[in-house]
Structure 1
Amino acid sequence: MNLTIDLNENDKVIDVKVNGEIDAYTAPKLKDALSSSAEEENVVMNVDLSEVSYMDSTGLGVFVGLFKTINANGGQLYLNGLSERLKRLFEITGLGDIMNINSEVKGGVE
């Protein structure tokens, strides 16, 4: 269970590329990597999930927390590059209706 996180911050735009599995073991690493950026005011965070092979409810919890923190500080969270499986996970839980999710990849982290 390996997870890599590449983060590129340019002014108030944060591009994040996540690679691997997001589960109970790796979710804390993801949360730690993104939480300080999420607390900045008016930030736009683009998270590329195209290389995420698996995510469980712990991973969903990380993104719910990010979403709430970023929105509370006047920013926007975009989850991009979701596989059909990940997209369905967000839709089944109702998060697809309130979060900005997209199958396309946006942002600048390669």
Structure 2
Amino acid sequence: MESLNVTVETEPRRAVAHLRGEIDLATAELLKTSLDTMIEGPSVSALELDLSQVSFIDCSGLRVLLAVKRSLQRRGGTLSLAHLSPSAERLLTAAGLDDHLVECARGRGPLAPA
């Protein structure tokens, strides 16, 4: 099992989290805690998750993504997923959430500016 690593780039009102590793039952709480900490204050209203290095994601990770999106939306913020790994894209498509969660241009190119 591969652990999860979260690195963050912040700008005024925007953060980009680069996720690397597996998002599953064992690491979902770490992801939720990391993302909740980033969006707790009023300073971040747009959060982008770079999933290019996610080797595996299951429904535990999906629940975290949906919870963070709802939390941001309640405050008028946005969550965008970018650079989907094949594993992330398969799960989102299978769950029928690819259009619901992927607000970036499905791109595997540079991160979209805020």
Normalised by the length of structure 2, the TM-score is 0.84
Secondary structure of the 1:5 match is strand
CA shift at 1:83, angstroms?
2.1
Selected match of 1:73 from 72, 75, 78:
75
- Per the alignment, residue 25 of structure 1 pairs with 26
C-alpha distance 107-18 of structure 1, shift in aligned 2 (>3 A)? farther
Stretch deviating more after TM superposition (53-62 or 6-15):
6-15
Per-residue deviation, residues 23-65 of structure 1 (Å, max 9, x unmatched): 1011111100011333444611111010000011100011010
Kept in 1, the 8 Å contact 2:51–2:81? The answer is yes
1:104 aligns with 2:108: yes
1:1-110 matches, within 5 Å, as 1-41=2-42, 43-99=45-101, 100=103, 102-105=106-109, 106=111
Query: Paired residues, what number?
Result: 108
Kept in 2, the 8 Å contact 1:83–1:103? The answer is no
Stretch deviating more after TM superposition (23-32 or 79-88):
79-88
Cα distance in 2 for residues equivalent to 1:5 and 1:84: 19
2:72 is aligned with what amino acid? I
Instruction: List gaps (5 residues or longer) in structure 1.
Output: none
CA shift at 1:88, angstroms?
2.3
Q: What is the root-mean-square deviation in Å for CA atoms of aligned residues?
A: 1.9
Instruction: List gaps (5 residues or longer) in structure 2.
Output: none
CA shift at 1:68, angstroms?
0.6
C-alpha distance 3-85 of structure 1, shift in aligned 2 (>3 A)? closer
CA shift at 1:77, angstroms?
0.8
Per-residue deviation, residues 75-100 of structure 1 (Å, max 9, x unmatched): 11111111233212112212113222
Secondary structure of the 2:26 match is coil
CA shift at 1:107, angstroms?
5.6
